[in-house]
Structure 1
């Protein structure tokens, strides 16, 4: 049963990352025309960077040089690695900012226009944000599908 719960944990982490991505996309879309933030600069696009945790037990197993020994031709000895750590993070997500330069738009009537009539607009592209939103939504749905499948497997195994 522990492996089933670790499946819930892994998919739950995936749900959390996709929720963060959707939140960042929503902030970006909401601020697509924000020319001045609290710091007086145009809004900078938020990005969520998800990375695999290099300290997970699975990753350590892949990086180590494990040699399996046989006591007979039929089986290999058990290893001491524990893959069922509920606190282990498979993936970590951090919120950052896209440091690409602001777009310059000619609008001399805008109150934030510079001396030449250009306004520094946020580095947000609405099409990119919509694509990111669809991608995050589909990944979120995939993780919920995994949770539903694991739940059904657990339910069916209890009926046996």
Structure 2
């Protein structure tokens, strides 16, 4: 039984690690939502994306989750007319980051809920382990 509970802890921990990485990417996107290019016509910060994959934990014999890759969102960059900006092109337009704060906040809330769910499982499992140890005393 203790082995099953330890496996449950490992699975929950991998989920928490994945959501922590997701929150890091979201924080980076929000922090750079106003970062334009350094020279005229230069590309600004591009939104980062994160992809997860299932990974077999051979020692435990279970599937866990891990970060597969951190990529770049290649969607169009919005333009804003601002001829006084040092990053403006010859027509006076500045390329802006393709970060949508609303989407980032929604992703953040989803990551927070997933993290909390994994934490709840971990706490329940730990409580069960403690109860088992108490019975063995």
| TM-score category, normalised to shorter length | 0.7 to 0.9
Q: Does 1:92 align with 2:92?
A: no
TM-score (norm 1): 0.74
Of structures 1 and 2, the larger Rg is shown by 1
Q: Does 1:145 align with 2:108?
A: no
Aligned to 2:13: 12
Aligned to 1:29: 30
Q: Does 1:128 align with 2:130?
A: no
More helix by share: 2
Instruction: Name the CA distance, whole Å, in 2 between partners of 1:139 and 1:6.
Output: 18
User: Displacement, 1:87?
Assistant: 8.4
User: Displacement, 1:152?
Assistant: 0.7
Instruction: Name the CA distance, whole Å, in 1 between partners of 2:60 and 2:117.
Output: 21
- Structure with the greater relative contact order (CA < 8 A, sep ≥ 6): 1 or 2? 1
Q: Does 1:46 align with 2:35?
A: no
Instruction: Name the CA distance, whole Å, in 2 between partners of 1:134 and 1:105.
Output: 29
TM-score (norm 2): 0.86
Instruction: Name the CA distance, whole Å, in 1 between partners of 2:46 and 2:8.
Output: 36
Q: What's the secondary structure of 2:30's corresponding residue?
A: helix
How many residue pairs get aligned? The number is 130
Instruction: Name the CA distance, whole Å, in 2 between partners of 1:87 and 1:19.
Output: 24
